[in-house]
Amino acid sequence: MTQSTETLTARRDRLLGENTPLFMMLRSFTYLGWWNERRNEFYVGLYRARAGGCLWSRLETLSEEDLELTLSINLKACFRLLKVALPSLRQSEHGRFLVTSSVTGPKVAMPGAVHYGAAKAGVNAFVRGAALELASDGITVNAVEPGYIQKPDGFLADPAQRSRFEQYIPLGRLGDPDDIAWAMVYLASDEASYVTGQTIVVDGGALLPESPDLISTVPNEG
- Domains of the chain, residue spans: 3-214
Q: What is the pLDDT of residue 150?
A: 85
Residues catalogued as catalytic:
116
Q: How confident is the model at residue 50 (pLDDT cuts 50, 70, 90)?
A: very low
CA distances, 191 to each of 31, 90, 194, 209 (Å) = 20, 20, 8, 30
- Tell me if the domain spanning 3-214 has CATH number 3.20.20.10: no
In whole angstroms, what is the distance from residue 127 CA to residue 97 CA? 9
In whole angstroms, what is the distance from residue 187 CA to residue 43 CA? 16
Crossing angle of helices 177-188 and 3-16, in 10° steps, is 30
pTM equals 0.77
Q: How confident is the model at residue 7 (pLDDT cuts 50, 70, 90)?
A: low
Q: 180 φ, ψ to 5°? A: -75, -40
Would you say residue 174 has pLDDT above 50?
Answer: yes
Would you say residue 137 has pLDDT above 90?
Answer: yes
